[in-house]
Structure 1
Amino acid sequence: MYTASAAFVEALVDAGVSYIFGNFGSDHPGLLEYLAKAKALGLPAPPVLTCPNEMVGLSAAHGYAQVTGRAQAVVVHVECGTQALAGAVHNAAKGRIPVLIYAGASPYTQEGELLGSRNEFIQWIQDVADQRGLVRGYMKYDNEIRTGRNVKQLVRRAMQFAHSDPPGPVYLMGGREAMEEEIPPVQLPSPRSETVSPGALSAEGLDILVADLLAARRPLVVTSYVGRRPAAVAELERLCQRLGMGVLESVPNYMNFPHDHPLYLGNQWNLAQQNQALAQADLVLVLDSDVPWIPQVNRPDPTAVIHHIDVDPLKTAMPLWYIEAKGVFRADAATALAQINARLDQMTIDQAALVERRAHYGDLHAQRAARLEVEARPSPDGITPHYLAARLALQLGSDGLVLNEGITNYNVLFDHLARTQPGSIFTSGGGSLGWNGGAAIGMKLAAPDKDVVAISGDGSYLFSVPASVHWMARRYRTPFVQIVLNNGGWRAPRHSALGVHPDGYASATEDLDISFDPAPDYAGVAAAAGGAHARIVKTVEELDEAIAEALRVTREEGRCAVLDVWLARS
Structure 2
Amino acid sequence: MYTTSSAMLDAFVEAGISYIFANFGSDHPGLVEAIAEARANGRIIPEIVTCPNEMVGMSAAHGFWQASGVPQAVVVHVECGTQALAGAVHNAAKGRAPMLIFAGASPYTQNGEETGSRNEFIQWIQDVHDQRGIVRGYMKYDNEIRTGSNVKEIVHRALQLANSEPKGPVYLMGAREPMEQEAPQKVTDMTRWTAIQPNGLPAGGVEELAAALARAKHPLIVTSYVGRNPAAVEALVKLCETAGIGVLESVPMWHNFPHSNPLYLGNQWNEPRQNEALALADLVIVVDSDVPWIPVHSKPAPGALIYHIDVDPLKTQMPLFHIDALRSWQADATTALLQLEDRLSGMGLPPEAISERRAAWTSLHVKRHNEVRLLEAYPLDGQITPQFAVACVRELVDDETLFVTESISNYPTVYNHLALDRAGSIFASGGGSLGYNGGAAIGVKLAQPDKTVVAFTGDGSYMFSVPSAVHWMARRYQTPFLQIVFNNRGWKSPKLSALAVHPNGYAAKASTLDVTFDPPPDYAGIAAAAGGAFAASVTNPAELRSVIAAALKTVREEKRSAVVDIHIAHL
TM-score, normalised to structure 1's length?
0.99
CA distance in 1 between partners of 2:396 and 2:184 (Å): 57
CA distance in 2 between partners of 1:359 and 1:32 (Å): 63
Letter of the 1:309 counterpart: I
Aligned to 1:321: 321
Aligned to 1:27: 27
CA distance in 2 between partners of 1:413 and 1:262 (Å): 20
CA distance in 1 between partners of 2:191 and 2:238 (Å): 35
Contact 1:69/1:98 (CA < 8 Å) preserved in 2?
no
Deviation at 1:494, TM superposition (A): 0.4
SS in 1 for 2:270: coil
Contact 2:200/2:335 (CA < 8 Å) preserved in 1?
yes
Q: How does 1:18-167 map to 2 (within 5 A)?
A: 18-167=18-167
Q: How does 1:112-511 map to 2 (within 5 A)?
A: 112-381=112-381, 382-511=383-512
CA distance in 1 between partners of 2:190 and 2:59 (Å): 30
Deviation at 1:300, TM superposition (A): 0.4
Contact 2:148/2:184 (CA < 8 Å) preserved in 1?
no
SS in 1 for 2:128: coil
Deviation at 1:184, TM superposition (A): 2.2
Deviation at 1:548, TM superposition (A): 0.6
CA distance in 2 between partners of 1:261 and 1:354 (Å): 15
Runs of 4+ in 1 over 2 A off after TM superposition: 186-193
Deviation at 1:394, TM superposition (A): 1.0
CA distance in 2 between partners of 1:193 and 1:12 (Å): 13
CA distance in 1 between partners of 2:113 and 2:427 (Å): 50
Letter of the 2:260 counterpart: D
CA distance in 2 between partners of 1:324 and 1:54 (Å): 40
SS in 2 for 1:49: strand
Contact 2:242/2:345 (CA < 8 Å) preserved in 1?
no
CA distance in 1 between partners of 2:264 and 2:205 (Å): 26
Letter of the 1:153 counterpart: E
Deviation at 1:396, TM superposition (A): 1.2
Deviation at 1:193, TM superposition (A): 4.6
Aligned to 2:550: 549
CA distance in 2 between partners of 1:367 and 1:184 (Å): 66
Deviation at 1:69, TM superposition (A): 1.2
Deviation at 1:343, TM superposition (A): 1.4
Contact 2:157/2:193 (CA < 8 Å) preserved in 1?
no
SS in 1 for 2:49: strand
CA distance in 2 between partners of 1:437 and 1:50 (Å): 15
CA distance in 1 between partners of 2:551 and 2:398 (Å): 14
Letter of the 1:208 counterpart: E
CA distance in 1 between partners of 2:18 and 2:193 (Å): 20
CA distance in 1 between partners of 2:190 and 2:536 (Å): 52
Contact 1:225/1:288 (CA < 8 Å) preserved in 2?
yes
Deviation at 1:341, TM superposition (A): 1.3
Contact 1:19/1:48 (CA < 8 Å) preserved in 2?
yes
Superposed CA deviations along residues 189-211 of structure 1, whole A, max 9, x for unmatched, are 33335100011111111111111
Contact 2:459/2:485 (CA < 8 Å) preserved in 1?
yes
CA distance in 2 between partners of 1:427 and 1:371 (Å): 25
Superposed CA deviations along residues 37-90 of structure 1, whole A, max 9, x for unmatched, are 111111010010000000000000000000111110000000000000000000
CA distance in 1 between partners of 2:359 and 2:204 (Å): 32
Contact 1:398/1:424 (CA < 8 Å) preserved in 2?
no
The CA RMSD measured in Å over matched residues stands at 0.8
CA distance in 2 between partners of 1:272 and 1:394 (Å): 30
Percent sequence identity is 61
Contact 2:96/2:166 (CA < 8 Å) preserved in 1?
yes
Deviation at 1:569, TM superposition (A): 3.3
TM-score, normalised to structure 2's length?
0.99
Letter of the 1:365 counterpart: H
Superposed CA deviations along residues 425-471 of structure 1, whole A, max 9, x for unmatched, are 11100000010000000000001111100110000000000000000
CA distance in 2 between partners of 1:359 and 1:245 (Å): 11
CA distance in 2 between partners of 1:510 and 1:186 (Å): 67
Letter of the 1:219 counterpart: P
CA distance in 2 between partners of 1:272 and 1:59 (Å): 31
CA distance in 2 between partners of 1:215 and 1:21 (Å): 52
CA distance in 2 between partners of 1:93 and 1:235 (Å): 26
CA distance in 2 between partners of 1:23 and 1:54 (Å): 6
Superposed CA deviations along residues 337-375 of structure 1, whole A, max 9, x for unmatched, are 111112122111111111111111111001011101111
Aligned to 1:15: 15
CA distance in 1 between partners of 2:542 and 2:189 (Å): 63
Aligned to 1:528: 529
Contact 1:219/1:245 (CA < 8 Å) preserved in 2?
yes
Deviation at 1:188, TM superposition (A): 2.7
Contact 2:499/2:508 (CA < 8 Å) preserved in 1?
yes
CA distance in 2 between partners of 1:543 and 1:15 (Å): 45
